Amino acid sequence: MTPLAVITLAFVGGALLPGDIREAVSKSLSLGSIAGYAHVFFCALIALLLGGIGRSPLSVFVMVMTLGGLIELMQLWIPYRSTSWWDVVDNALGASLGLLVLWLGKRCLSRGNDG
């Protein structure tokens, strides 16, 4: 399984856990309240990996936001979960951060080849 698939499945799996199970996992791993950070982290990784395989920045952003939007909609039917506009903002921030890191990395690599 590719890193992109593993990261995406981890993001979706965590996002679709029922609220009581999510809280139990968070407590047992001493994670505290990291939901917003998790959205930024996973969306940044997904954007970085999608961009790394040659997808355009616009298509990467749209794909990440679509995935996040679908997750928010699915959470309407999951016990003890709810949708949040802050999650959407965190997804956008993560996607943008991943694309920025990719752009900076490509820029640094191209400068290294130029001397």
Range of the domain at 75: 3-114
Number of domains in the chain: 1
Which has the closest alpha carbon to 101: 26, 51, 35, 34?
Answer: 51
For residues 107 and 92, give the distance between their C-alpha atoms in angstroms, rounded to a whole number.
Answer: 22
Tokens of 108: 């640094």
Helices 85-114 & 35-52, crossing angle to 10 degrees? Answer: 40
Helices 57-74 & 3-15, crossing angle to 10 degrees? Answer: 30
Phi, psi (5° rounding) for residue 53?
A: -95, 10
- Evaluate if residue 22 carries a pLDDT over 60: yes
pTM over 0.75: yes
Query: From the centroid of its chain, how far is CA 90?
Result: 9
pLDDT digits (tens, 9 = 90+) for 44-100: 999 999 999 999 999 999 999 999 999 999 999 998 888 899 999 999 999 999 999
